[in-house]
Amino acid sequence: MSIFKKGIYFGVAVCDVSTGEFYATQINQNNNFERLLDEMSRFTPAEIIANDLLYSSTEEIAKIKERFGLYISKVDENSFSTNTDNLVANYEIVTDKGEKVNRFDDKLFTVSAINGLLDYLNQTQKIKLEHINTIQIYNTNKYMALDISARRNLEITERMRDKSKKGTLLWVLDKTSTSMGGRMLRRWLNDPLIDITEIRNRLDAVEELKNNLMLRGDIIENLKKVYDIERLIGKISYGNANARDMISLKNSIKQLPEIKSILSTTSSKLIQNLYQNLDELKDVYTLIDRAIIEDPPISVKEGGMIKKGYNEEVDELKSATTDGKKWLMELEVKEKEQTGIKNLKVGFNKVFGYFIEVTKSNLSQVPERFIRKQTLTNAERYITEELKNLEDKILGSQEKLINLEYDLFLEIRCELAKQIKRIQDSANIISTLDVLTSFATVAEDLNYTKPTMTEDGVIDIKGGRHPVIEKMLPSGAFVENDTYLDKEGDRLSIITGPNMAGKSTYMRQVALITLMAQVGSFVPASSANIGIVDKIFTRVGASDDLSMGQSTFMVEMMEVANILKEATSDSLVILDEIGRGTSTYDGLSIAWAVATYIADKEKCGAKTLFATHYHELTQLENQVEGIKNYSIAVKEKGEDIIFLRKIVQGGTDESYGIHVAKLAGVPAPVVKKANEILKSLERKSALTQKATEKENKKQPAGQLDLYNYKLAELAHEIDKINLNELTPIEALNTLVKLKESVS
């Protein structure tokens, strides 16, 4: 990735040199640096080059290194020129819709970043990379913005704990048949769309593939025979493809006409489009098919690659080598007759070449014209004029053949390199088809439903499930839940419930369903209306987020700050126990203030799910418009609790943490003590509750009431006194102590 910084703006260009994909954009709206980080996490580059200004911005560089831990180097400012001559002459420059770009004066940061990257590639790769031929200039507004912590938290393509693919959304959705399709799926999941038409087109295509079993089966069967065309093209462009790679390419291309004819009967717009644009590459197929044998050797410098009939000279040289064997046998028979030596043999070794071998007992019969070459214990070896000539002919033609085959091979590879763009386009269509088919298969297998996309800002999910947790649990064990969020009275849900009840799971499920819908996938729900969101944010309280390392609370607050700045009324925000990383009062105060701010339509108004263990926040429902309380139901059964996993309206006031402690096997005396402490604390807050209710009436909405702990303490002490057991003296002493504690 190359990043060009000018003022507060950035140009970004990124290239995968193995496949030739090249994208570029510029960032010139608000909060540019945060957006730059979003772009970086979208592509997760392996290496970054920067211009002077960025490279010397120590704070920004430090942040990039901290978050991505990658290699950044500075490149000369001259590389980042705004000159477009080279670009226009040598590259196809298109928009994300595939239209040709004609105007660059409004894209100068982009141009600089592209030039910087191309220059760097030229210098480091040393050859012209034919497969880098199209540059797509995209608009950052085309995709849903997903900040780094959302990508990580939602475990879209890798797990937080071990970076593995298992247990991620990608793992659930990946039923692709080709590695190209697998890579494209990963890209799609990282780039959810926001354009309603584009999303609907994908969904309609998935629907058709899901419903038409025959069509899907035929497509999958053919896709399975397609190799990684993109990587093969990369090898051709780099000049290290061998004849076997060409055969792989041929066998892949072989499927194209079949796939095209399968697609001809489809009706959805997107698949029809793929059908129309699919180039069958018949000429490329024919070229390889005519020239290269089916099972060529790995080496390209030892011959044996070119098919019979492709080149006359190759055929002649080949027959010279095979005919050679015949000539030698004929020579042996002739010499036996002429000399009368019955066991005379023609042989070959690497040092002496061809020879005639005669055993010692027959030496007397050897004629003059035999020239001695080598003496063995039992025999002598000779050469003759005639044998020498044969040898030249045989060995010479072999060498010529190897050289000629190599030259022809290079010619063919060069010819293929000229067709790279067309091959790439077909590969892209195959990948797209593969991803859509994968979505259809998953939708069918896992009973997903087609979401209805709208632009009214309402998220209305019935019977929603978490795609990953559902798959990890025994079939049918996952408990479905509904969700309703809108831009009016149901903007922010405060979700309470005991530990382990399923709060985090529920909130992530809503985010994942929304994301899946905008990627174009069916979703795990019985029905889903998804009002398209522009961004998804998630923030998990510091102590829940083990992967963060030190200064977690600071990081937590930085990310909260970013959410408050960036979230719009079209965004979806998931806040999971924020404020946990600090003391109770700090944490509660922050959580309270953050919830109030987000709920404020004037300031933010994003759709928000807010899980918290601060039950005090449930008071907000009555105070702030747009906030609703929910909790995840549990059932008490004697001493124990049963997790019902059902989200219900209304808050809880019990945390059941002690029940969980008991379940986990914390020793009985500790559990008992904890219960006692809890009871006495509850008595205190029951008292303060009345006081706060009175005050609430006077206070403006959103202001936090802190408890009068002294009063509670006192009440608790009085409550503890057992009047039946108290002597008059003890009563007096108690009264003295109480008085002391108040003064």
Distance CA 342, CA 328 (A): 16
What torsion, rounded to 10 degrees, do the Cα atoms 80, 83, 88, 91 define?
Answer: -10
Distance CA 271, CA 435 (A): 12
Token digits of residue 534: 């522009």
For residue 610, the minimal CB distance to Mg ion (Å) is 12
Residue ranges in 450-479 that form contacts with ligand ADP under rule CB under 6 A: 469, 473, 477-479
Distance CA 732, CA 222 (A): 93
- Give the binding range for Mg ion (CB under 5 A) out of 41-49, 110-118, 136-144, 496-504: 496-504
The conformation of residue 80, written as its DSSP 8-state character, comes to G
Token digits of residue 232: 């093969």
* Count of residues in contact with ligand ADP, rule CB under 6 A: 14
- Give the binding range for Mg ion (CB under 5 A) out of 117-125, 174-182, 345-353, 503-511: 503-511
For residue 611, the minimal CB distance to ligand ADP (Å) is 6
Residue ranges in 505-564 that form contacts with ligand ADP under rule CB under 6 A: 505
For residue 153, the minimal CB distance to Mg ion (Å) is 11
For residue 503, the minimal CB distance to ligand ADP (Å) is 3
**Which is nearer to ligand ADP, 253 or 632 (by Cβ)?**
632
Distance CA 377, CA 391 (A): 25
Neighbours of 329 (CB within 10 A): 11
Among 504, 509, 538, 612, binds Mg ion (CB under 5 A): 504
Distance CA 178, CA 546 (A): 35
The DSSP result for 152-175, as a single string, is: HHTTSSS-TTT--STTSHHHHH--
The β-bridge partners of 607 are 572
Between helix 32-43 and helix 58-68 the angle, nearest 10°, is 30
Binding status of residue 44 toward ligand ADP by CB under 6 A = no
Amino acid in position 455: E
Nearest-CB residue to Mg ion? 504
Distance CA 739, CA 553 (A): 41
Which of Mg ion, ligand ADP, none does 285 bind, CB closer than 5 to 8 A by kind?
none
Residue pair 94/24 in contact (Cβ under 8 Å)? The answer is no
Answer positive or negative: Cα dihedral of 106, 112, 113, 118. positive
CA distances to 99, 172, 354, 702 from 564, rounded to whole Å, are 36, 32, 86, 17
**Which is nearer to ligand ADP, 216 or 466 (by Cβ)?**
466
Which of Mg ion, ligand ADP, none does 62 bind, CB closer than 5 to 8 A by kind?
none
**Which is nearer to Mg ion, 40 or 632 (by Cβ)?**
632
Binding status of residue 645 toward ligand ADP by CB under 6 A = yes
**Which is nearer to ligand ADP, 660 or 714 (by Cβ)?**
660
Nearest-CB residue to ligand ADP? 502
For residue 642, the minimal CB distance to ligand ADP (Å) is 12
Which of Mg ion, ligand ADP, none does 169 bind, CB closer than 5 to 8 A by kind?
none
**Which is nearer to ligand ADP, 182 or 502 (by Cβ)?**
502
State whether residue 433 is helix, strand or coil.
helix
Which of ligand ADP, Mg ion, none does 499 bind, CB closer than 5 to 8 A by kind?
ligand ADP
Residue ranges in 492-511 that form contacts with ligand ADP under rule CB under 6 A: 497, 499-505
Distance CA 19, CA 40 (A): 19
For residue 470, the minimal CB distance to ligand ADP (Å) is 8
Footprint on this chain of ligand ADP (rule: CB under 6 A): 469, 473, 477-479, 497, 499-505, 645
Footprint on this chain of Mg ion (rule: CB under 5 A): 504
